[in-house]
Structure 1
Amino acid sequence: MADRPSTRPRKAVAKPKTAARASAKPASAGEPATPVPPTPAPAPRPTRPQRRRISDAAHAASSERGLYAVPDPCDDEPMPQPAAMPGTSEIEAAIGGLVTILRTAGAAVGMSGDDLEQRIAQALAFVRRRLTGDYDIDDFGFDSDFTDQVWLPLLRPLYRRWFRVEVRGIENIPADGSALVVANHSGTLPIDGLMTQVAIHDEHPQHRHVRMLGADLVFSSPVVGQLSRRAGTTLAANADAERLLKSGELVAVWPEGFKGVGKPFSERYRLQRFGRGGFVSAAMRSGAPIIPCSIVGAEEIYPLIGNLKGLARLLGTPYFPVTPTFPFLGLAGLIPLPSKWIIEFGAPIETAGFGTAGAEDPMLVFELTDQVRETIQQSLYSLLMQRRSVFF
Structure 2
Amino acid sequence: MMENRLPVMNVHMFGEFSLEYGGRRITFGQASDSRAVKLLQILLFCGDKGISRVKLLEDMYDRDELADVSGDLEGVCRRLNEMLVKAGLPEYEYIKIENGAYQWQSPMEIRTDTQEFSDWMEQAYQEDSPARIELLRKACEIYRGEFLPGGSSGAWVLVESVKYKKQYTRALKEVCDHLMKRQEYEAALNLCTAASKIYPLDEWQVRQIDCLMALNRYKEAMQIYEETTKRVFEKLGTSPSDRMTSRYREMSSMMGLKTRNIGDIKCGLDGDYEEGALYCTFFGFKNNYRLVRRMIERNGQSVYLMLCTITDGTDRLTEDKERLEAMSDELYDSIKFSLRRVDFFTKCSPTQYLILLVGTNQENTQMIYERILRRFSKKHKSWKEYLDFYVSTIDDVERDNSRISFRGDSFLWD
Normalising by the residue count of structure 2, what TM-score does the alignment of the two structures yield? 0.24
The structure carrying a bigger strand percent of its residues is 2
Select the structure with the greater relative contact order (CA < 8 A; seq sep ≥ 6): 1
Greater Cα radius of gyration, structure 1 or 2: 1
The structure carrying a bigger helix percent of its residues is 2
